[in-house]
Amino acid sequence: MIRVRDVHMHFGDVKVLRGVSFDVQRGETLCILGGSGGGKSTLLNVMIGALRATDGEVVIDGQSTRGMKERQFDDVRRKFGVMFQGGALLNSMSIADNVALPIGYHTKLDADTIETMVKMKLYQVDLLHAADRRPSAISGGMQKRAAVARALALDPKILFYDEPSAGLDPIATTRIDELINKLKTTMRMTNVVVTHVMESVQRIADHIIMLDKGAGHPRRDAR
């Protein structure tokens, strides 16, 4: 589903990624580990096209994104959802409207259809009861699940998560991990998860890569 080949990312003289290569198969969970400032978010941003690699190639579901124009990349973007570090929900609108936002933006579906889709996504993350609440009026764990619902809005094949359990207590963390696993087993979702929580890695990872001085080391013995 994802192929990363010899990716380099330099910010001026700072070489954050120095030749990272790995594959992610469909329906598996890859965890990306490494120290703070080690380039995990940078690698994620290169994979989702928010940053263009200095060198190397990223292939998403058979489509190479190398040298792709922004508009072409929009087609690739519909294949995946992203849960950003911090969740990044808009507090000016309800949870339901947050989930509806990408559907309204990327499709021409009518309001009733969108409402039905939003309910399905909120049901998947067990948040139907909080549909009308503002992000600030629900717990941190619920906010993260709402961010997952929004990432699911366009029925992606791949979900990227940047530190999904940052700031959560162990129980809310376990709940997010269970959600990640449920999406894998029920939808055959491909999950790419940046995390430093080793308990989470043990619960969710099929494979892990370690970023070490900007080079990625695939490990085949995650469990």
200 binds ligand ADP (CB under 6 A): no
Closer to Mg ion by Cβ: residue 59 or 166? 166
13 binds ligand ADP (CB under 6 A): no
Q: What are phi and psi of 51, to 5 degrees?
A: -125, 145
Rule CB under 5 A: which of 174-203 touch Mg ion?
none
Closer to ligand ADP by Cβ: residue 125 or 159? 159
Torsion of CA 47, 50, 52, 56, to 10 degrees: 0
Closer to Mg ion by Cβ: residue 41 or 195? 41
Residue 48: DSSP 8-state? T
Q: Which of 24, 29, 31, 41 binds Mg ion (CB under 5 A)?
A: 41
DSSP calls for 141-203: HHHHHHHHHHHTTT--SEEEEESTTTT--HHHHHHHHHHHHHHHHHH--EEEEE---HHHHHH
CB of 28 to ligand ADP, least distance (A): 22
Q: Which of 1, 2, 4, 16 binds ligand ADP (CB under 6 A)?
A: 16
Placement of tokens 């690739």 in the chain: 76
- Conformation bin of residue 111: beta by default, left when phi > 0, alpha when psi is -120 to 50: alpha
The tokens for 44 are: 């994620």
CB of 209 to ligand ADP, least distance (A): 12
- List of E strands, 12-83: 14-24, 29-34, 55-60, 63-64, 80-83
Alpha carbons 86 and 21: distance in angstroms, whole number? 27
Q: Which stretch binds ligand ADP (CB under 6 A): 10-18, 58-66, 136-144, 184-192?
A: 10-18
Q: How many residues bind ligand ADP (CB under 6 A)?
A: 11
Nearest to 80 by CA among 158, 192, 180, 189: 158
11 binds ligand ADP (CB under 6 A): yes
- One symbol per residue from 23 to 52: x for binding ligand ADP (CB under 6 A), - otherwise; what is it? -----------x-xxxxxxx----------
Q: Contact positions toward Mg ion, by CB under 5 A? A: 40-41
Q: Contact positions toward ligand ADP, by CB under 6 A? A: 11, 14, 16, 34, 36-42
